[in-house]
Amino acid sequence: MQFTNLHLNKSILKALTEERHHTPTLVQQKVIPLVLNKKDVIVAAQTGTGKTAAFALPIINELSKEADVDKRAKKIKALIISPTRELAIQIQENCKTYSKYTNVRTTVVYGGVPTQPQKDVLEKGVDILIATPGRFIDLHKQGSIDVRQLTTFVLDEADLMLDMGFIDDVRKIEELCPRKKQTLLFSATIPDKVNDLATSMLYKPEKVDISPTETTSKNIGQLLYYTPKKNKVDLCLHLLRNTIKGRIIIFRRTKFGVDKLEKTLQKNGYKATSVHGDKSQNLRNQAIEDFKNNKANILIATDVAARGIDISKVDAVINVDLPNIPETYVHRIGRTGRAGKSGIAFSLCSADAPSYIKAIQEFMDRSIKIVEDH
């Protein structure tokens, strides 16, 4: 199947061709026709499967018809709620790329930066608004956001939204929107709480499940290194010197661990940068831009900060600290091996984490190869 088979308009197809996107991913093949047919949809798909385009392309397609007819002051017709600033920015970048040959206007609002520039853009009118929950509620209270004309509501990364304690904000936002609308819910996994949320918000939803373990098994090599906790940083340096080359994302559990490793790598001559929750939004944006533009080839991150990182051609992932949630491990290693390309993930396991490995292997239904000679 090609994008030309999905009944998208010529303006969108032109933008996709320029980006060298010709063949839709599995989630795009399944979801785009449902969205075009105005169905409510609940989708289980991890980051890296192409889910942003799965909802953005059909939304832009439908709004571009209206934009061509009605060029008066624009009203918000589609709202996309995202849990993290990085992910919201990434969605906005994708929407701008897909809509550049249409009259559809998009913008993004998020916390950690002044509100006035965001208010100025909203006042001019937009078709698609991407927002983090807290900033949306703030700007709505201040009268800068009007969603009375909304036709499509998208909730992205619903499981992370719940983990971060946004459930009440999400319900509040949904209640501010018109009752009659199309609702699309995307989540890496569908635990009971996400299912309950979907039941209360969606009307007769179509369900699409793209198994994360299938994608992981096919494209990503996985290696496991047992080592005492005190030796992890030395082992990480050893791997960078002798085994791992290219563009690399390294995961640590804590902000302190991220900062410490960044300093160590920089002292050893590596071009490393980092993102975590205590850094200002401008610093986080700059770190991701430096990584994208190869000013730094190593990005060190905590899990929450890394959810929104959608960067092609990541050669390897290193888990210096293993996560205690199997799904998080799959998210992490999914930073590499994207869009059908191959990748490799290295995990360092100390004596306090063997139970994590057992849970991860059970979740993926496969064992991770142990490297003993290091």
The residues pairing with 43 across neighbouring beta strands, listed in sequence order, are: 186, 208
Residue 335 backbone phi and psi in degrees, to 5: -65, -25
pLDDT tens for the chain, 374 residues long, are: 788 889 899 999 999 998 888 888 889 999 999 999 999 999 988 766 788 999 999 999 999 887 554 555 678 999 999 988 888 998 999 999 999 999 999 999 999 889 999 999 999 999 999 999 999 999 999 999 999 999 999 999 888 888 778 888 999 999 999 999 999 999 877 878 888 888 889 999 999 988 655 555 567 889 999 999 999 999 999 999 999 988 999 999 888 999 999 999 999 999 999 988 788 778 888 888 898 888 999 999 988 655 656 676 889 999 999 988 787 888 788 888 765 567 899 999 987 777 888 888 888 888 889 998 77
Task: Tell me the pairing of strands 220-226 and 343-349.
Answer: parallel
Centre a 10 Å sphere on the Cβ of residue 23 and count the other Cβ atoms it contains.
11
Q: Which residues of 304-319 are buried (b: 16+ CB within 10 A; e: fewer)?
A: bbbbbbbbeebbbbbb
Angle at 153 between CA 168 and CA 213, to 5 degrees: 80
CB proximity list for 351: less than 8 A, separation 6 or greater: 228, 229
The encoded tokens of residue 63 equal 């709004």
What is the rounded distance in angstroms from the CA atom of residue 70 to the CA atom of residue 73? 8
Query: Do strands 182-187 and 152-155 pair parallel, antiparallel, or not at all (unpaired)?
Result: parallel
What is the pLDDT, as a whole number, of residue 35?
95
